Amino acid sequence: MKSLSLFLHLAPLALGSTRPSLNQRARNDSSTAFVSTVDLQTGAKCACGKLAASYSDSVFFPGSANYTAQATEYWDIRADLDPGCIFLPASADQVADAVSVFTTCQAQFAVRGGGHMNFPGSNNIDGGVLLAFSNMKDYKFHNDSIDVSPGMTWYDVYSALEPYGRAAIGGRLKTIGVPGLTLIGGVSYFINKYGFAMDNVLSYDVVLGNGTQVIANATSNPDLFWALKGGANNFGIVTKFTLKTYSMPHISTTIQQFNETAVYDFIKATCDWVVADSEPTIAAGSVLDISYNTTTGSVSPLLLGVQEGISNPPSMFANFTAIPGVSKTNNVTTSKQWASNLDSPKQMFRVMFGMHSMYPDPDVLYTMYQTWKSAIDQIADVAGLYPTFVLNISPASAARVAQTNGIGNVWGLDDEPTIWWQFSTGWDNAEDDLRVEACIRQLTEYLHGINKKNGLARDFIYMGDAGEWQDVFPVLPAENVQRMKEIRGKYDPLGTFSRLNWGGFKLGV
């Protein structure tokens, strides 16, 4: 099932040796006068020693079998690094202990949930401490909601909900982690009616940068509650997500594969759908991509369509069903069963992402597809090249969920349909890193530049699809960015999540 496993890979660039030391990075900002004085090795040695003294069975050092197994729990091989030690906490209290140790020791650290964010340093660290959630997989079902621990994947969540005929708003592939996806936004199969995964979180349990634990919801720390809806890993470590659930005993699915002659119609059906679906009554969503095999020259558009209910074939994908295709398979199933076939195994390949958003225009998108194909031809000799042109839809109705739920989110998206176009490119060998990265980065920004000139470009950049060079916060509404910085100053005055936990998409000074 390699094609299905590979179709949706979204973001990476290497920080490695150019990373400044903690001392170099120490600085004052509006929220804190914290200055760190400990280097990477000294901090990690202190923290690993203290953690091992308290939790000897859950701290692993290089050379041990457990360390080796944990060190490769990453989807993108580029994210494999060499932490000084790996700590697997078993409870929120242990996470809080660890954060206290990190601040006491001034130890640099990384946090890993499902391990799918694919750029080096976002979820792993050379020499520092890796805190990984592999031992925190418990959940509690409450019918209208479910409490989920940060070690769970979306398949775990859908499996927990299946006996009750209910579903949560989460990831589209089996092994994506709950924490990373939910903190960056979260595109699901039910986006048009229920919005993003973050819009469906009722409460977060959070360990702050000084090791204290707080709850963030509509009544307790509501400012932090808002900031966690799209604010990523800038405010604390979430140890519990309380997610809304919906009655959804069955879903109707379609898998449709096409050949190159259908590319224009496939793109047009995507644009027509996202524009037309402005007042949805049926929750529906998709994975849409076009893969290009440079060895055979074949181009394969693929639709994975899902909607709530038992209509068979699923009515929301009629525009695609009308296009002559290579194969079309419809089914009525459950979210758990559907996800069980859509794995994205760890250590798949090296991957570069790049994305931007735009108003849906099929002619321009088709030209972009042709330009992408020509650019990929120039690197066709790269071993293991796996290029994919991904089309994610963001209907106006998805933005309206946050506009009308009384909470909002940090994105503040406008009430209009957009296409989030993305290049996801896999390859085999480290020697080709710079070449592939340069190609994708230049191509992405070139096409976005053209769309800016023709008025189709939109500013929003989705963290789940972005390349690591892309600065995702400055493109959000300025007042939201300012508010996030104030909230960060209030809840993390020591700068634990900007200076010690520096990887991933950060707000900046």
Which residues of this protein are in contact with ligand FAD, per CB under 6 A? 8-10, 75, 111-118, 122-123, 150, 171-173, 176-177, 179-181, 183-187, 233, 237-238, 344, 464, 503-504
**How many whole angstroms separate alpha carbon 193 and alpha carbon 414?**
16
Question: How near is the Cβ of 123 to ligand FAD at its closest, in Å?
Answer: 4
**How many whole angstroms separate alpha carbon 316 and alpha carbon 301?**
18
Closer by beta carbon to ligand FAD, 254 or else 364: 254
Question: How near is the Cβ of 479 to ligand FAD at its closest, in Å?
Answer: 24
* Cα distances (angstroms) measured from residue 146 to each of 202, 242, 330, 423: 10, 6, 30, 34
**How many whole angstroms separate alpha carbon 494 and alpha carbon 500?**
10
**How many whole angstroms separate alpha carbon 163 and alpha carbon 146?**
13
Closer by beta carbon to ligand FAD, 123 or else 334: 123
Give the H/E segment covering residue 237: strand 237-244
SS3 of 386, please? strand
The closest of 345, 421, 353, 350 to 382, measured between CA atoms, is 350
Question: How near is the Cβ of 104 to ligand FAD at its closest, in Å?
Answer: 20
The interaxial angle of helices 92-105 and 40-54, nearest 10 deg, is 140
- Full 3-state SS string of 133-178: CCCCCCEEECCCEEEECCCCEHHHHHHHHHHHCEECCCCCCCCCEH
Closer by beta carbon to ligand FAD, 184 or else 269: 184
Question: How near is the Cβ of 322 to ligand FAD at its closest, in Å?
Answer: 26
Closer by beta carbon to ligand FAD, 304 or else 364: 304
Closer by beta carbon to ligand FAD, 358 or else 463: 463
- The residue assigned the tokens 């769309």 is 451
Closer by beta carbon to ligand FAD, 116 or else 193: 116
Closer by beta carbon to ligand FAD, 10 or else 456: 10
Question: How near is the Cβ of 112 to ligand FAD at its closest, in Å?
Answer: 4
33 Cβ contact partners less than 8 Å away, ≥ 6 residues apart = none
Question: How near is the Cβ of 485 to ligand FAD at its closest, in Å?
Answer: 18
Question: How near is the Cβ of 491 to ligand FAD at its closest, in Å?
Answer: 13
**How many whole angstroms separate alpha carbon 13 and alpha carbon 468?**
6
Closer by beta carbon to ligand FAD, 62 or else 345: 345
Closer by beta carbon to ligand FAD, 145 or else 344: 344
131, 211 in Cβ contact below 8 A? no
Question: How near is the Cβ of 11 to ligand FAD at its closest, in Å?
Answer: 7
Question: How near is the Cβ of 356 to ligand FAD at its closest, in Å?
Answer: 16
286, 304 in Cβ contact below 8 A? yes
358 Cβ contact partners less than 8 Å away, ≥ 6 residues apart = 364, 365, 418, 419, 421, 451, 456, 457, 458
Question: How near is the Cβ of 363 to ligand FAD at its closest, in Å?
Answer: 27
DSSP per-residue string spanning 321-381: HTS--SEEEEEEE-HHHHHHT----TT-BEEEEEEEEE---HHHHHHHHHHHHHHHHTTTT
Closer by beta carbon to ligand FAD, 120 or else 360: 120
Closer by beta carbon to ligand FAD, 188 or else 256: 188
**How many whole angstroms separate alpha carbon 500 and alpha carbon 502?**
6
Question: How near is the Cβ of 33 to ligand FAD at its closest, in Å?
Answer: 25
323, 269 in Cβ contact below 8 A? yes
The closest of 311, 314, 322 to 254, measured between CA atoms, is 314
